[in-house]
Amino acid sequence: MVTGIFGAGLPEKLTELPRGAVVCMVGAGGKTTLLHMLAEFYRENGFHVLAGTTTHMEKPEKLCVSPAAAIREMAGSGIAFTGLPDPENERKIISLPEEELRTAVKASDYTFLEADGARRMPVKVPYGHEPVLPPYTTHVVSVGGMHAVGKPVGLISYNREGVIRFLEEYFSVETVTGESTLLTEEMLCCIVRRAYEDKVRAAAPHAELIPVLHDLSGGGTGLWRSI
């Protein structure tokens, strides 16, 4: 078992991932924070960690724009953030080309990738083209933000129409009243558990889906629990 301060508050399943894991983060409400926590946790335990995105993510302080640079950085500091500057947004990065990303992944002990975006909203159902999962993905962590509970779906959702359609499929018409629907914890858990199931099965059929909730009430980086 690996240990360390960066594992504090994380679900046990996420701190005992097998070496060689390629973990894609999807959903909303804290996946970037969780990616950084997991990357630091495994680096702290002496592993070479690769972090990046298959779509877009916030630009890290140090960016490795090639597999060779990422491999050197992992050998030196233990962790490398890889990708290319986003030509449309200087604060973001995009993925390396597929073959280059795969080369960097092969050199790492653990890889953590953001695989869709949510524009800082706490709830999300993916659009048709999302998420972007490499076929060699081993785990998909689906995230939802507990701070959305009790608030109108129209105010806290990315892809509002998709979230409403999803809820209409799984809950009664009396419960789901369009954008004014107040999100319950049961609804949030259902989204986090089920919204990505078919997408994961199609893109990475051997990957394990791990649904987690992020609770900001604990302060700091919040509390995490698998469901």
CB atoms within 10 A of CB 91: 8
- pLDDT recorded at residue 218: 65
Q: Is 118 exposed, middle or buried (0-12, 13-18, 19+ CB in 10 A)?
A: buried
Could you report the per-residue pLDDT of 164-210, keeping only the tens digit for each? 999 999 999 889 999 999 999 999 999 999 999 999 999 999 999 99
CA distance 93 to 104: 16
- pLDDT recorded at residue 146: 95
- pLDDT recorded at residue 3: 44
Banded pLDDT at 95 (limits 50, 70, 90): very high
Q: Is 158 exposed, middle or buried (0-12, 13-18, 19+ CB in 10 A)?
A: buried
User: Is pLDDT of 221 > 80?
Assistant: no
- pLDDT recorded at residue 220: 73
CA distance 54 to 203: 13
Rounded to whole angstroms, what are the CA distances from 53 to 28, 49, 81, 173, 174? Answer: 15, 13, 9, 37, 39
Could you report the per-residue pLDDT of 110-163, keeping only the tens digit for each? 999 999 999 999 999 999 999 999 999 999 999 999 999 999 999 999 999 999
- pLDDT recorded at residue 223: 86
User: Is pLDDT of 58 > 80?
Assistant: yes
Which pTM value belongs to this model? 0.94
Could you report the per-residue pLDDT of 5-17, keeping only the tens digit for each? 445 578 889 999 9
CA distance 28 to 211: 11
Region of 220 on the Ramachandran plot (φ > 0 left; ψ -120 to 50 alpha; else beta)? left
How far does the chain reach from its first CA to its final CA, in angstroms?
22
204, 134 contact by CB (below 8 A): yes
107 or 3: which carries more pLDDT confidence?
107
50, 82 contact by CB (below 8 A): yes
- pLDDT recorded at residue 8: 55
Question: In this structure, what token pair is assigned to residue 227?
Answer: 């469901």
146: DSSP letter? G
Q: What mean pLDDT comes out for the span 38-45?
A: 96
CA distance 166 to 146: 18
79, 49 contact by CB (below 8 A): yes
- pLDDT recorded at residue 32: 93
User: Is pLDDT of 219 > 80?
Assistant: no
Question: In this structure, what token pair is assigned to residue 60?
Answer: 């890290």
